[in-house]
Every structure is written in C-alpha cells, then in structure tokens.
Amino acid sequence: MMNKISQGKYAMTYTHLLFDLDHTLLDFDRAEDLALTYLLEEAGVASRDLKVYKDHYIPMNRSMWEDLNHGLITKPELLRTRFSRLFEHFGQEVDGSHLAGRYQHFLSQQGQELPQAHAFLSNVKDRGHKIYAATNGVSYIQRGRLQASSILPFFDDIFISDEVGAHKPSTDFFEKIADQVNDFHPDSALMIGDSLTADIQGGNNAGIDSIWFNPKCLVNETPAIPTYQVKNYQEILTILSK
C-alpha cells in the first residue's frame, strides 16, 4: 500500500521528476550478474567458483558505495580497489585498476530494465512531466546502459555524478541540476529512487519531495525521511495524479 510518510504537498503538481536508475528503472542485479560473470571468466575463475566470488563481491561492493554516500571513501578509491580486495580475499594478487576497466566495459553493455519500466515512463511522459535521470555512477557505464535500454528517449536530460561533479546526497548535486534545467524549482520537483542514503537523503538535503521506491518493503533504519513510500509504479502514478 502506498504510504504517505511525512507531511508534504500531497496536492502539489510535480513538473520535474528526478529518477534514480539502478533498482528504480534499470535492473542492476541482472546487469551486475552478467558483467561479473564475463569479468571473472576472463580473469580465469573456474565456473564452479563464480558463485562464491559473487557472493563475496556483492555485499562488499554495496558496503563500499554506502561508505561513498557517507563520505568515508572516494569514488576513485572505490573503483580502483574493489576488485583487488575481492581477489585478495581469495588469496590472489591482481591489477585492480585493469579489472575495474574490464568490468566497466562489460557493465556498460547491459541495458536490462525492471518489469514495466518502459510502459511506466511512457505513461508519465504522456502526462506532460519532465523526466530526468539523476544517478550516481560512472558516466560511460550509465550512458552505455541507457543506450542499450529502451527508456533513453523518455529523458529530457541525464545527470550523472561523474559529469555533475557531485554525487547524491550532496546538495551540490541537486543545485547543479537546478542551474541547468529551465524553470526548475524544488517545490515542483520530485526525487524518485530506491536508496534512502542517496536518493531520499539527497531530497531531504535539497528541500525536494521524494518517493522511496521500496518494492521489497524494507524497513527504514536511516535518518532519511521520504515524502512517500511505494512498492510499485502504479502507486507512483497515483501520487502524480493527485
């Protein structure tokens, strides 16, 4: 059930919609799994060992991105060291920077979308909303994945942390969007994403209403306060119809 969590402008007309990509519109889990398979196989990991490598990498990588959101690590450090840390765990020394480049190549080719994402964005576009991608990530990866997907034409513009020069939840990220988008105002903007620490906290920091896209019905254990919580696209459309 759609849940209005905090007081807010329920009747507000949201003209500018800022969408996170991964886990919100694009299926990062499928993309990551395929990219890791290609990378690990190229690096000589036996097929029987792929799962154990992935099972260690995925939570480690997620934790490193959370550290980035909290300012505990830099993005270059994250990208440079995550694969050397992975292989070090299994007693191997590798060139982390080289593997990072190969992984980025494989990931940039993955355009898998979440179910109904295309139809949902088509509906939103038909309603007259301006649609923007607002994503943390590596520029050529995110642009490559959008290019490989079917949803690229729906976006009026794309804002990627690498290009913006700041990342969510920093207010600088949203201020730079506001500087580049005509008629942008926080009161008529809406940040939509799955990450409490990046998307929702970013909306809080920037004074922008937010939708926590939470299909798994996770419990919020962070200080971030979403304006709305939804579990599917239809509930987002209901909010936009108010």
Judging by DSSP bridges, how do beta strands 228-230 and 157-160 pair with one another? unpaired
Is residue 33 part of the annotated active site? The answer reads no
Distance CA 13, CA 15 (A): 6
Q: Which of 22, 194, 199, 209 is catalytic?
A: 22
Which tokens belong to 77?
């450090």
Which tokens belong to 164?
């913006």
Q: Which of 20, 194, 199, 209 is catalytic?
A: 20
The dihedral sign for the CA sequence 157, 161, 165, 166? positive
The dihedral sign for the CA sequence 84, 147, 149, 191? positive
Return all residues near 48 (Cβ < 8 A) that are at least 6 apart. none
Is residue 22 part of the annotated active site? The answer reads yes
Query: Please, what is the angle between helix 75-89 and helix 50-69, to 10°?
Result: 150
Rg of the chain (C-alpha set): 18
Residues carrying an active site annotation:
20, 22
